[in-house]
Amino acid sequence: MRIQIKHFLLVTILLVFAGSAFSQIKRPANFNKYDFQKLPSTYQNGLMAPYVVSQDFKIILRDGAEMDAAKFYPSEPNPYLPDGYPCVIMVHGYGDRKETLAHFASAQAAYGYVVYTYSVRGQGNSTGLSNLMSTLEADDLIELVNYIKADTVGLDSTKILIMGGSQGGTVPYIAALRGMNVAAIISSVTSPEFATSWNENGSVKMSYLWTISYTPDSARYNPLVTAMEKWVYETGKKNDKWDSIAYWMPIGRDFNNQVQNLNVPILLENSWQDYFFNASGNIRSLAKLQGKPHRVYFGAVMGHGGDISETENQWHMNFFNEWFYEYLWRIPQGFNTRPKYHFAYSSFPKIGVMWSFLHDSTDVFPPAGSSVTKLYFNSNSRLTSTNNTNNTARVTFANNVAANYTLLQAIWDEFKGTNFTNKFKIASKLFTSTALTQDLKMVGIPKIQLRYMSSAALPQYNFQIFEVTPDGKQYFVSRLNYTDRAYTTNQIKTATFEGQSRAHIFKAGNKIRIVATNLDRTPEDTVFLNTNPYVLPVMVKATNTIYFKNSYIDLPFVTNSANPLMFSSEETESIVPDVFSLNQNYPNPFNPATTISFNLPSGFNGLVTLKIFDITGREVSNLVNQNLTQGIYNFQWNASRFSSGVYFYQLTAGSEFREIKKMVLVK
């Protein structure tokens, strides 16, 4: 339900008493860390400024809020810069303050720059209330830029560059779209769809909850953001406030529909493994930046838990320096004659927990030769290049959650320990390809088409992509998450959704594995998430089904090889079971139809009967009465003419097998 603005004051008052409980959430060290790159010196022969002067000051903003800011500048003018020093504004990450950047700002000023830092509204010693990286904070930055342009002593007001990551990359980007006029910006580890990215495909990221639950010493929120924290705890069960989050979060925050209006040169970069913001948002925006001065990098970037790479860091330094030379020093770098888009593939070998990276560049993105390859979910845990045409073939996994166990309790338990494991059962299903016959380069956004059914009104499907080595070890690559917030129980439905974008090289001889699970957590996540999942789970008991027919994952491969064969030959003949088995009907309870499946093992050839009995033992239907051979069979019973109640079904296969199971018809 949407909560109206007029109710926010009441919500805020209520949360004053409850907020201390909600806010005691453990976050990782360096939760929102972005390392600023060292920039080239303006001095000749490597000289440094005699010393750096620092000056704290305040700006009273248009609504009376007070901005706490600081200025760092060389003590003497540079004779080689008659118009003054170029100016850099550094913007910190969320929940931080200007003091964190003071040492870096001072060091950069010694290289011949006037450097400004400030505490964003509601953070540090700046007053006002945070609206969580929005147009409000962007307008504050515009006021600071106007102040700086009037402060002409020591700086060239035509050479102002703004840089930062996360909040520090988001706010300048929004400000540039609202008319801010500066020489250039650097926007790192963020997205034009960052608000939606926190809650993609109906799922709520753990990092979103962390960000909106800071204690007041780090961030002071306005009533809207305060309300969001309470809504999150109510997204796992029947009192779902998902629509409130989905409605309010993008307003004043997402800006992909305005990117085409950008008139400021921009350098964009994202980490493939970012636990906050999916790089897909910037990928989707690239078409709107055509004709605008921009350069882009996707790969290894410090910020929100992504891998780091020494080789990429060395390249990265020059990437930043060239941007400064071009737009602050006005020294042309030949950008028009060089690739605009740079990215790095993760690949083996692994160095500890980190992937190795292979750098690449392209004039267009995705790179030439990119195409999607469909891999279908299939029986016997297979991931195949051919579709299963059996309309009822399927696999199920349970979301087994104790009725009295809440999302808040699971978060307090940190998704570990006896209480959690007793009340939340982790379930998963694996789908694995045959071995690759050649290296495969994946670049872009994976996508899933899913045919599914659930016994609950709030089904969640989390998919993880792994690379599997010949010794059976699996290594995490990417993920896709989907929670259906508008589902009717026991209805077969088809959904299509995108996941976390990635560039990765799958090695020849290895396999691709997709894991479907009710709790999205991998061993590789623990460095950043500890024991927490990537997205918050649904806290409703359910049986979730994946139908194989027309359920597949689209992987964006770059295929320039003349040989289209990418996988070793698949088993094309019918799968032959090893033993007799009678499976539980599905759905159960049902109304009015249900499917009963059974397996007949290799070598069987004989009379098979499948009969239905009511609670009194009276036979009411004879579904099967014929000779059958080895294989997997599915039969549907339509009970539209029968009354509600308990029924039994009995399978008899020759003289070798007989079994009875119970089912429930509910009308």
**Are 141 and 187 in contact, with CB atoms under 8 Å apart?**
no
DSSP 247: H
**SS3 of 20-34:** HHHHCCCCCCCCCCC
DSSP 239: S
Using only C-alpha atoms, what is the Rg of the chain?
Answer: 29
**Overall residue count recorded for the chain in this entry:** 667
DSSP 379: T
Rounded-to-integer distance, Cα 555 and Cα 82, Å = 55
C-alpha dihedral sign at 624, 625, 627, 630: positive
**Are 211 and 131 in contact, with CB atoms under 8 Å apart?**
no
Beta bridge partners of 20: none
Domain boundaries, the chain: 5-22+51-362, 370-558, 581-665
Per-residue pLDDT at 29: 66
For the stretch 97-126, pLDDT in tens is: 999 999 999 999 999 999 999 999 999 999
**Are 138 and 182 in contact, with CB atoms under 8 Å apart?**
no
Rounded-to-integer distance, Cα 160 and Cα 149, Å = 9
| Residue 492, token pair as written in the block | 């077969």
**Are 236 and 407 in contact, with CB atoms under 8 Å apart?**
yes
Residues in Cβ contact with 27 at an 8 Å cutoff, skipping those fewer than 6 apart: 210
Backbone phi, psi, residue 43, to 5°: -80, 150
Exposed, middle or buried by CB within 10 Å (0-12, 13-18, 19+), for 153? exposed
**Are 346 and 355 in contact, with CB atoms under 8 Å apart?**
yes
Going through 147-233 in order, the beta strands assigned E by DSSP cover 155-165, 184-188
Q: What topology does CATH give the domain 581-665?
A: Immunoglobulin-like (2.60.40)
| Residue 596, token pair as written in the block | 């009963």
Q: Identify the H or E element spanning 635.
A: strand 619-638
Low pLDDT (below 70) residues in the chain: 1-24, 29-30, 45-47, 238-239, 560-566, 569-577
What Å distances lie between residue 269 and 290, 316, 341, 619, CA to CA?
Answer: 17, 10, 10, 68
C-alpha dihedral sign at 142, 148, 152, 155: negative
Per-residue pLDDT at 385: 87
How would DSSP label each residue in 432-476? E---BSS-EEEEE--EEEEEEEESSSS-EEEEEEEEE-TTS-EEE
Backbone phi, psi, residue 190, to 5°: -145, -170
What Å distances lie between residue 432 and 38, 97, 504, CA to CA?
Answer: 44, 47, 17
**Are 613 and 620 in contact, with CB atoms under 8 Å apart?**
yes
Give the orientation angle of helix 8-23 with respect to helix 223-233, to 10 degrees: 60
**Residue reference for tokens 């248009």:** 62
Please compute, for residue 507, the number of CA atoms within 13 A of its CA located in the half-sphere on the CB side: 14
Per-residue pLDDT at 560: 54
Per-residue pLDDT at 575: 53
Per-residue pLDDT at 273: 92
Bridge pairing between strands 645-653 and 657-665: antiparallel
Per-residue pLDDT at 35: 78
Per-residue pLDDT at 34: 80
5-22+51-362 homologous superfamily: Alpha/Beta hydrolase fold, catalytic domain (3.40.50.1820)
Beta bridge partners of 137: none
Q: What topology does CATH give the domain 370-558?
A: Jelly Rolls (2.60.120)
Rounded-to-integer distance, Cα 326 and Cα 184, Å = 10
Exposed, middle or buried by CB within 10 Å (0-12, 13-18, 19+), for 100? middle
**Residue reference for tokens 């850099």:** 88
What Å distances lie between residue 320 and 44, 46, 184, 317, 401, CA to CA?
Answer: 19, 18, 12, 5, 49
Per-residue pLDDT at 19: 43
What Å distances lie between residue 475 and 25, 65, 360, 493, CA to CA?
Answer: 29, 49, 22, 31
